[in-house]
Structure 1
Amino acid sequence: MAASRWLFARAFCLVLMMGSAMSSKELLTKMTGGFTKVVDACKTELSVGDHIMQDMYNFWREEYQLVNRDLGCMIMCMTAKLDLIGDDQKMHHGKAEEFAKSHGADDALAKQLVGLIHGCETQHQAVEDHCSRALEIAKCFRTKIHELKWAPSMEVIMEEIMTAA
């Protein structure tokens, strides 16, 4: 499985846009809430411990160190369940864009998000272990989202998680 599965698996998972499109921060929050459904399935499937759930909870906290390879495996499982990879085991750009649009992104924002992930994939393509590669792509993506000031706040994420439960 390709590490790119992470693509939109953690709030893409992302340019404040003109017109009626929601802000990128609102989009990330909405997308993050949507992942809670696949988290439970992957948690059971992979038999991951509470430490991985702690990583998931703290994902958007910039100061939190993401170092556990198993988080990469969790991310890969989630994106597979969201059908965001192609037959070549790499991010399927069209499906990823559609996923973003189904959560409120307009065409330009969806393409921008896919471009961010693609850049991270390219940067870490030499990492051979799929779970480790997914973790590196996730860290790269999180950094880019924080640089753009698009990361959702912990308070908003908790509210989304609690209402999805």
Structure 2
Amino acid sequence: MTMLSSWLMLGLVMAAVSSVKSTAEVMSHVTAHFGKALEECREESQLSAEILEEFKHFWSEDFEVVHRELGCALICMSNKFSLLQEDTRIHHINMHDYVKSFPNGEVLSAKMVELLHNCEKQYDTITDDCERTVKMAACFKKDAKAEGIAPEITMIEAVMERY
């Protein structure tokens, strides 16, 4: 390997690392902003105070996305930003626009909608909207972590005050 190709390879690796970091950073903005609607939706979705407190740690390894009420809260929160269609399925255009509204959102938009849509398809036969949504959220969390776009808790905390 020549010196030039070594530098080129290093540059590509650094660009890939930078890209993953920037998508996780955008995801921290999306998470912080989206999470602001949680308190408004708590009562409507019958979310307990305990689950509400746990939800603040959505991206941590310890938080399990399993409670039906959480799915109801996610539907309510999504509706606050017009992110769902009438059948509670993702509104792809609105989701793209929402993610792109954040700093550097264009680097995350297509991947996020793709992951959400793939998870949505896996659970499409579940007729209970809240149950389907919580399963979809668990799938999205797992896939976002696998893709390296899930934010660190410290990233979310750093941007919380902006929203």
Q: TM-score, normalised by structure 2?
A: 0.79
Q: What amino acid is aligned across from residue 98 of structure 2 in structure 1?
A: F
| Structure holding more helix per residue | 2
Change (3 A) 1:30 1:61: same
Runs (5+) with no aligned partner, structure 1: 1-14
Paired residues in the alignment total: 146
Over 3 Å counting, the alpha-carbon distance change for 1:152 and 1:158 in structure 2 is same
Moved more, 115-124 or 56-65: 56-65
Question: Distance between the aligned counterparts of 2:82 and 2:90, measured in 1?
Answer: 9
Describe the shift of the 1:127–1:24 C-alpha distance in structure 2 as closer, same or farther (beyond 3 A).
same
What are the equivalent positions in structure 2 for 1:42-121 lying under 5 Å apart? 42-103=41-102, 104-106=104-106, 109-121=108-120
Is contact 1:29–1:156 with CA below 8 Å preserved after alignment?
Answer: yes
Equivalent position amino acid for 2:135 in 1: E
**Structure 2, unpaired ranges of 5+:** 1-15
Cα distance in structure 2, aligned partners of 1:140 and 1:40: 23
Per the alignment, residue 128 of structure 1 pairs with: 127
TM-score if structure 1 supplies the norm length? 0.78
Deviation at 1:79, TM superposition (A): 0.3
Q: Which amino acid aligns with 1:126?
A: T
Give the structure with higher Rg (CA).
2
Contact between 2:75 and 2:133, CA under 8 Å: does it hold in 1? yes
- Matched to 2:57, the amino acid is N
Whether 1:145 and 2:144 are equivalent positions in the alignment is: yes
Greater relative CO, 1 or 2 (CA 8 Å, sep 6+):
1
The amino acid across from 1:105 in the alignment is G
More moved, 58-67 vs 118-127: 58-67
Contact 2:41 2:77 (C-alpha < 8 Å) held by counterparts: yes
